Structure 1
């Protein structure tokens, strides 16, 4: 009988950031947002705050931070939403839901 032992090296971890606050800063409009009441528009600011607009004339304001591929939204009552970012570039951002809205949300600058 012949046995062979080999080692498998761990994959190299890429420490580059998925995106930064600067990538998010600006006004974003939901693709097809005219059909959605909550958050058809969002605006990220340099001070780590974000405003989510509603067609019902309500403005939702959160602080935000990024961790890996997720956006963390925190309201004034301590409630936190964690939303996965699937894609981000200069013109498009895709979330797996945003705040309390479920499903894919694609925004354009």
Structure 2
């Protein structure tokens, strides 16, 4: 595998995932465009794979849709999915009280048997 292929990012999957997340969050292209300070045409172009989001806009999009950038990239890039899932779990769990964390740990120990 060439270095270029190894570092390739699946932008076709990006457009599909961006659209799926927008719809899942009940957002219109106009709402997303307004929140990200871009045009609705830009969002349409991303969703239809005519352009790719910059890292800055991608990070704002992740925040807008309530996920981490890691999670968004993990949804797009299969080789990164496991790391992204771990990071998303840590991000969510870190907001919990110690009591809630203990309950989660107890549940995980039961599942892991």
Query: TM-score range with shorter-chain normalisation?
Result: under 0.3
Q: Return the structure number with greater helix share.
A: 2
Larger radius of gyration: 1
TM-score by length of 1: 0.26
Q: Return the structure number with greater strand share.
A: 1
